Structure 1
């Protein structure tokens, strides 16, 4: 029998305990700890010498990508909110442990000046920019469409779309042939939940962004793709506002029957950033536990 892992049992199979956090959510307050690949990800030099900027890189999917990129040989800058500095410091320590340069950029991507400046600061500190991962996001549960608050709706759109556009627009002129832009979309773009209607709308718009920009970027030798995660256990989940029952069953509606862990997405981001994906652009790569896009 071959030495393979049964994906149904590769990570936690039961649901998650009741808990509540305020946005953006912190790793130390998330029970159980998400697996970012700290003790499992093994690099193979696929991104040796490259320079990456990851928005929302302090925890969850962003941390898993930062760890993987560092172990594949890349220097890494991460964007995070000031209140996430502890998470950011922990991520940066993991990057530096691989002998790579790590840069912390604290601020809010809804601020056009900041979201633009992170590109300049990354290029200055790392000597250039080869990989841009647009991962920062905000979501909240809505108890009926009529209860959708204007303030929260604007935060969703400004974080997930406007902030993404600010950073992508600033980076685009500086991306050279071989560079890669990767957006964290979502299964919600294709299977929207009523309770996440504004979030799902932004994720659908991100898919359109990827497809349109890939057409413009292709003749320059720059690739633009997205990863579409399914239910992944990150600090964003207990900060979404779901009740105990929703957390207890989180991810059980997937064909694999469980939620995913951030570490299970890292390989997708490495692939899309690497030369292995040299003919992949305008694509949306699902990591959904078997849910269809």
Structure 2
């Protein structure tokens, strides 16, 4: 077998009831030259028993680490720090890969590896193998920053990102005592400062959002983890490229502070005057988000 250059990382917490879907998809890979690194964030279900059974089956190479429950971002740090391959991709416990995903990653990695301006690759997520979870990649663009994909080229939806491990090791998640969530955008924004990503207009990752997942409960997650959320909003202000972008970031900061009941957002900001100027925009953003969340909850109740 060739040298293993890819780690497929899965953070999990009490997902024993569905983790098998991810496992079976990895066992179906055309190219099995990878390590499946599972970081169990303190599960109390049968996850450990299941994984030990799969390790004994020896169908794929599995490394299992169990830690005290600390949140997905801490599990991600644990995964990155225990990764010994040059590529790292996160596949959530309720999702799975297309059968050719590993092969496609290897097919494209040579170009990425030799390009020092690239941090990795962005591919598509899908509801299934044919239907993308959002738009397709912009035509005629084969690389760009993560933020530019959305803001400049109008991409909508979620993606799968494969990173150079050494870059992730230099950009770990911040950890705040008593909090168990920091958005992945904190890391993406940091990487954006120095690198671009290769774009691949192909679905490699099949995604399903469950009722117990972060995505469906993001407002409540932010309220329970306000320090990490404010850190993200503040970092967005610091990374703004121009006055217009900083104005929007400050407005979003204020609206975010109000949503998590963070006290004295203007007093605690380094941009007090800009906060005052952005106040009307922040009110608009806060009201618009509140209305959107209300109708999302209404739809959920009636579905």
TM-score of the two chains, using structure 2 as the length reference: 0.28
Q: Which has the higher strand share?
A: 2
RCO higher in structure (CA 8 A, sep ≥6): 1
